[in-house]
Homo-oligomer: A and B are copies of this chain.
Amino acid sequence: METVERQDPVVYGTHPGPLTAEQIDFYDKNGFLVLPAYFNADEVARYRDEALRAAVALAATERPEVVREPGGEIVRSVFAIHTLNETFGTLCRTPRLADAARQILGGDVAIHQSRINFKPGFHGKEFSWHSDFETWHVEDGMPRMRAVSCSVILSENNEFNGPLMLVPGSHRTYLTCVGKTPKDHYKLSLRKQEYGVPSDEALKELVDRGGLESFKGPAGSVLFFDCNTMHGSGSNISPFPRNNVFFVYNSVENALVEPFGGTEPRPEFIAHRNAEPLG
């Protein structure tokens, strides 16, 4: 594993948007930003109901967008939800989210990936430490670090149900694991990440420098995090499910090319190669 200092900006230009200068500064420094209760209770109840309804309907199909828990039939994620479902197609375009992404990335954006994540109560599995950019660069052909992930909490994330943990400041370092990725890796890695994860030593060094933060909050809370921020989550043995919607906004100036790892591109529903700029 090789360690490289980040070459790209974190915040691009001065596009207008809903975030304050302090929030932008925090994001630039830490690689993430939490907006507690960004959507109100009524709004988020609608999204939660729709997410469950859509998941139940799609779970009955053999669609590849539906990913299940390791060793079980429980639905873990539904990908491309913004194309499959009108409510989430609208949500990813709402100015509170899309303009914040434009503000960070300095202009027009497209959706690189979207999904609903269900971490069930009692039996939610852990997800190892990783930065998304490593995969998106190597397997999807994303050229530069100019993408931001957005997670909207649909049910309370608390200390008991395996909340997302992030390493503040880790977005400034790129850990390369290029060349190790097996063919069709994505079929496994959507369930359980095993390749392209940092070594214990590399992770410890990042945490020694930046500490750890977890993304907790009531339903309606929103997290923006940089494509290179190191994150992971522990298991969930609590009775509380942890459900989130997840959108990745990519700059239109950062459109996908051939994968840098030399493998076949992943399917369109995981990495939208032909994404239109959001209107």
Task: Map CB proximity to B onto A204-231 as digits: 1 under 8 Å, 0 otherwise.
Answer: 1001100010100000000000000000
Cβ of A165: which chain B residues have Cβ within 8 Å of it? Answer: 160, 237-238
The listed residue (B212, B232, B237) touching A126 by CB distance below 8 A is B237
Bound Cα distance A200, B124 (Å): 13
Cβ of A126: which chain B residues have Cβ within 8 Å of it? Answer: 126, 234-235, 237
Query: Most B CB atoms within 10 A — which of A122, A128, A239?
Result: A239
Q: What number of copies of this chain does the assembly contain?
A: 2
Binding site for B on A (CB under 8 A): 121-122, 126, 128-129, 159-160, 162, 165, 200, 203-204, 207-208, 212, 214, 232-239
CB distance from A192 to the nearest CB of B (A): 12
Closest to A203 in B: B239
A214 touches B159 (CB 8 A): yes
Cβ of A239: which chain B residues have Cβ within 8 Å of it? Answer: 200, 203-204, 207-208
Given contacts A160-B165, A200-B239, A203-B239, 8 further A-B contacts (CB under 8 A): A122-B200, A122-B203, A126-B235, A126-B237, A160-B212, A160-B234, A212-B238, A234-B238
B237 touches A236 (CB 8 A): no
CB distance from A236 to the nearest CB of B (A): 7
A128 touches B237 (CB 8 A): yes
Closest to A211 in B: B160
